[in-house]
Structure 1
Amino acid sequence: MSSGAQAKTIKVSRDLNLLAPAFRAAVEAAILDCNDQGRPGGPLNAMVYEGFRSPELQAIYFQRGRTVKPPRHTVTNAPTNEFSWHGYGLAVDVIHATQLWEPGRGENWFRDVAAVFARHGCKWGGNWTSPDLPHFQWGRCRASPSDHARSLIRSGGVQAVWTEVGADLPDIDQPAEPEPASMRPAAPHMNDGGDVDVLEVETLVGRSITELCRNGFTDDRANHCAHFVAHALGLDFGYTCRAHVGGSASGANLRVHEIFAECPRVGLWADADQSRTQLVFVTRRDVVSIATKTMGNIPQKHVGIVRDGIVYHYSNTLDRVTSQPVGEFLDTFQRLYAGDQALFFGEIPHSDLVLAVDPSGQAGVSEGTIAFELRRDQKDWIARRAEDDAGKAFLAGVEIQQPAKGFFGLFFPVARYYGPVFAPEDHAGVIGQWAYLLDLTAACESRGFMNLVNTYDRARFTFGFYQLAAHTPDDNLILFFREALADPEFRRLFPELDLRGGRVFNVSPDGTATDLEAGILDPASGEMQLQRFMAFLNPNRKLVDEQEVLQAARLIWWANQDGESSKLQVRVAARILGRKMARTYHPRYRLDGQLDTVCALIADIHHQGRAKVDVVRAAMAEPREADREAALLAIGSVSYPERIATLSGRLRALKSAGHLGRKRYVAATNEFA
């Protein structure tokens, strides 16, 4: 039960990541259905007010109506969070987004919400003897936690309870399907990256999930249909096996509805181009919205890869990959599932972001675009503008493949850096003191080279003197692309891209527009990431492919040839740093009046991510300015000695030249004076 208002000192948690995985999926799907614009009667405007509840907050709630008044009546009978499913991540409180606990339709509004949650396997507190209208909990839980539940959480943590009630695994409730009538066993063949080529999917028939998942998620209680498809196609977005159980191999998505949502196009199977290799989904017709590409997270759903009329999917009964004709596939699940089952097609996720790259730079190039010849010389990738016979070839990157560290991509060895270099004095007239703060970090990130590319780390693609990363929404590289698309030369380099409503879209030759700025949760890091944008720049993080090289060549060529690229990089980097200084660093560390050197060091620490807030605060507690600066400079010296040496040397040079160490931060103007 929610108390109706937040405690003054302890806030409620709305972080759905703290819920049991299967329950979280049910809540997310139910809220999505509640707020569907196409819902009969209109959207319900529901929101999760509270999820997991801490012991401290539960104690405050328990006091209300007892030792703390008002209210006159108690708000909960649970003395500690072990007596409430909120304390186990198995309950949420749902209220109206604007009318809060008192929606205009009163209890009828909560009943409508409850009907939606029931379809996703959740129970409603409104059905209790003492109704708790906002309360919803995992359907396998009794009304309140038992002594057994409390014993489990004390001995094994919430994970033990989640396992007991079947909420620890996504899609585990799906019944096992019977063996299909037709099977085509074949010898398996995996490519070097560990994923099967979609054209060779038939070679996986007969393989078990233990052979396919290198992260070790092989629980035979779970439905592995999405898991198999994602490993086969390299779909590592959303909730993955790596996020679920850990491991060091690339993850594969575990959720059918998440895969459905990432398909470029979906529709009824009858409307599919059945000559294509694509995905086929089977589930209840009434839980799918083709217009919004959403599928309810109900247990009764399945997915497979269809090629030449044959569906390749994972049989949980047989515990292996199997195959059968499309019609038989539908018949199987029509018998197995209740309700009106339907087949839906989905184009392979992110397939619309894969470019037809011709290394000669000739094929598929439309008039007015800038194309490149690409060639590989051992580990070097060399590029040259295709239509310029006299054009100079240039290095687009050097392959680095270190599977033990997860490195697959392009980089530039320091000895081979080349091209234009950031000179802060050239930009100080426009961006002021920010130019020298940027220079300090640029010296460490890129030595100031404007054309530097890195495609092997978790961001999949970083570019430029400030190493703008591709994975962050409304930040870094996507901001650069937004502004660059206003430049005609840049649009000739990236003819697939268009700016619509201030957002970057990929437009396929058939006119399909894909929003590259849609945020997708990466459970491993807890971050929202631009995984479509990342896939457009670097489709396969397990190997270096020609699309990845082409994107690097495009950006490097523009940085080498056009001074506007350098100016734009600096403008974007300065805005990013200025925004973070005002909105993040100053509120955390009270920087008003601090020397620019202190601000620059804090910015570099967080840009690299080499220390947490408490470590920086400890350094900032030094009373003398010189000691404060020295303490900040020492952070990371053990783990990153080369960076700290570069940082120290550049800081000395900038101070000696009078560029840093003489101005102080003015919070009121977000400038230095």
Structure 2
Amino acid sequence: MAYDFKLRSVVTDKGKTAHYAKLSNTTEAEFFIGYKTYYKEQDGYGLYNSSQLTNLVYNSDDYAAEFGFFAHFIAPTAKAESHGSFICLNTYDRAYFTFGFMQFAAHVPNGDFVKFLRKLLTLHNAKDYFPRLKLIDNRIFYVSDTGTQTQLESDGSTKPLMEYLNPGLRDVEHQELICSARMIHWATHDIEHRKIQASDSINLYKNNLVKYHNRLGLDGYPAKVCLMVCDILHQGRGKFDRIANALDTNGNHEKAFTNLCSIGEVNYADRISSLKKSIKALETNGIFNKKYQAATHSFV
């Protein structure tokens, strides 16, 4: 039986509108969905939730046995994106719906969020959270009361999926709150949800690094340089030509790292500072002392 959530909102003493949900017909405690926010760039409204609950934060040690070094490799980005929060949410920008500690975004066809949701829909409890969504031939469909099937994403667009999760940016809608509550509750209460989120995040960077090496020639570069390349392109604060120029140092990897840290430093100083701090801690612990080996797509 599909889960039903009761919604509640309140204006805080700081003037923020906070939204909450509670799973109906249970003794579970009410939980926070997110604050309403206005996003000037889109001239629209949405939600954000950057809560970091102790048991819902990505810990690379939990996944190192299965994924090895790459479990640690993504940790600086996870920290910078969301403080590692498995329930990090925003619905206010052009992606319409972004979720998880690596901030998977719904607006990219066949992108990280779409692939993530496809896997979630294979879980045994998917029908409890999203009873209208069904995976058909590895595509996400909406199924109506009458059984009509409507495809929500394709190679060319995810617009129907975006608008299912968040009908628009003119206000915070009921559907947007319900979908957000479903995802937060699911991640909170199901370890399988979190495992998929973690494995998809790790494999995203692992696969991306192969592509980036083919463009930039990263064989022999230290982990911190490779991580910064991945993070720049994940966030979108720089493009390949700028990165290639930063790497053009006649083999001086320290200079290359410094150059990469300068990309986007005017607008993203806090993020870059977070990355550098995380990398330094990993180096101090003897974890980030490896170099990329292109032949085996691994760090040695």
Please give the range of the TM-score, normalised by the shorter of the 2 chains.
over 0.9
CA distance in 1: counterparts of 2:262 and 2:71, whole angstroms: 23
What residue is the counterpart of 2:14 in the other structure?
Answer: none
Does the 8 Å CA contact 1:475/1:576 hold for their aligned counterparts? no
What residue is the counterpart of 2:200 in the other structure?
Answer: 572
Amino acid at match of 1:384: K
Does the 8 Å CA contact 1:369/1:493 hold for their aligned counterparts? yes
What residue is the counterpart of 1:373 in the other structure?
Answer: 6
CA drift at 1:529: 3.4
CA distance in 2: counterparts of 1:637 and 1:404, whole angstroms: 20
Distance 1:492 1:629, change over 3 A: same
Does the 8 Å CA contact 2:44/2:171 hold for their aligned counterparts? no
What residue is the counterpart of 2:97 in the other structure?
Answer: 461
What residue is the counterpart of 1:418 in the other structure?
Answer: 53
Amino acid at match of 2:45: F
CA drift at 1:536: 0.9
Does the 8 Å CA contact 2:52/2:84 hold for their aligned counterparts? no
Amino acid at match of 1:611: G
Distance 1:496 1:580, change over 3 A: same
Q: Any residues of structure 2 matched to 1:453-492 within 5 Å, and which?
A: 453-492=89-128
CA distance in 1: counterparts of 2:268 and 2:40, whole angstroms: 22
CA distance in 2: counterparts of 1:450 and 1:431, whole angstroms: 18
Classify the secondary structure of the residue corresponding to 2:74: helix
Q: Write the deviation string for residues 481-519 of structure 1: whole angstroms up to 9, x where unpaired.
A: 111111112221110011111111111111111111124
Q: Write the deviation string for residues 60-118 of structure 1: whole angstroms up to 9, x where unpaired.
A: xxxxxxxxxxxxxxxxxxxxxxxxxxxxxxxxxxxxxxxxxxxxxxxxxxxxxxxxxxx
Q: Any residues of structure 2 matched to 1:118-517 within 5 Å, and which?
A: 368-378=1-11, 379-388=17-26, 390-403=27-40, 405-412=42-49, 414=50, 416-418=51-53, 420-517=56-153
Q: Write the deviation string for residues 436-479 of structure 1: whole angstroms up to 9, x where unpaired.
A: 22111111110101011100111000100110010111121111
For the pair 1:541 / 2:199, whether they are aligned, the reply is no
Classify the secondary structure of the residue corresponding to 2:125: helix
Does the 8 Å CA contact 2:86/2:194 hold for their aligned counterparts? yes
CA drift at 1:663: 1.3
Amino acid at match of 1:553: A
Q: Write the deviation string for residues 246-289 of structure 1: whole angstroms up to 9, x where unpaired.
A: xxxxxxxxxxxxxxxxxxxxxxxxxxxxxxxxxxxxxxxxxxxx
Classify the secondary structure of the residue corresponding to 1:488: coil
CA distance in 1: counterparts of 2:168 and 2:119, whole angstroms: 26
Q: Between Structure 1 and Structure 2, whose CA radius of gyration is higher?
A: 1
CA drift at 1:636: 1.3
What residue is the counterpart of 2:277 in the other structure?
Answer: 649
Give the unaligned 5+ runs of structure 1.
Answer: 1-367, 520-527
For the pair 1:637 / 2:265, whether they are aligned, the reply is yes
Aligned with residue 234 of structure 2, among 600, 603, 607: 607
What residue is the counterpart of 1:619 in the other structure?
Answer: 246
Q: Write the deviation string for residues 541-569 of structure 1: whole angstroms up to 9, x where unpaired.
A: 21100100111111101111111111110
CA distance in 1: counterparts of 2:44 and 2:104, whole angstroms: 19
CA distance in 1: counterparts of 2:225 and 2:254, whole angstroms: 10
Distance 1:592 1:564, change over 3 A: same
Distance 1:514 1:667, change over 3 A: same
Does the 8 Å CA contact 2:74/2:202 hold for their aligned counterparts? yes
For the pair 1:598 / 2:225, whether they are aligned, the reply is yes
Does the 8 Å CA contact 1:383/1:394 hold for their aligned counterparts? yes
What residue is the counterpart of 2:189 in the other structure?
Answer: 561
CA distance in 1: counterparts of 2:59 and 2:157, whole angstroms: 31
Does the 8 Å CA contact 2:77/2:275 hold for their aligned counterparts? yes
CA distance in 1: counterparts of 2:284 and 2:115, whole angstroms: 34
Give me the identity figure in percent.
34
Q: Write the deviation string for residues 603-641 of structure 1: whole angstroms up to 9, x where unpaired.
A: 000011111212111110123111111111221111211
CA distance in 2: counterparts of 1:600 and 1:618, whole angstroms: 17
Q: TM-score, normalised by structure 2?
A: 0.94
Give the unaligned 5+ runs of structure 2.
Answer: 12-16
Does the 8 Å CA contact 1:471/1:531 hold for their aligned counterparts? yes
CA drift at 1:403: 4.7
Amino acid at match of 1:386: S
For the pair 1:581 / 2:206, whether they are aligned, the reply is no
Does the 8 Å CA contact 1:456/1:541 hold for their aligned counterparts? yes
Q: Write the deviation string for residues 544-600 of structure 1: whole angstroms up to 9, x where unpaired.
A: 0010011111110111111111111011112222221112x1111101121111111
CA distance in 1: counterparts of 2:100 and 2:41, whole angstroms: 27
Distance 1:514 1:606, change over 3 A: same
CA distance in 2: counterparts of 1:499 and 1:402, whole angstroms: 33
CA drift at 1:405: 4.9
Does the 8 Å CA contact 2:39/2:92 hold for their aligned counterparts? no
CA distance in 2: counterparts of 1:512 and 1:577, whole angstroms: 37
Does the 8 Å CA contact 2:57/2:84 hold for their aligned counterparts? yes
CA distance in 1: counterparts of 2:167 and 2:42, whole angstroms: 19
What residue is the counterpart of 2:292 in the other structure?
Answer: 665
CA distance in 1: counterparts of 2:123 and 2:232, whole angstroms: 33
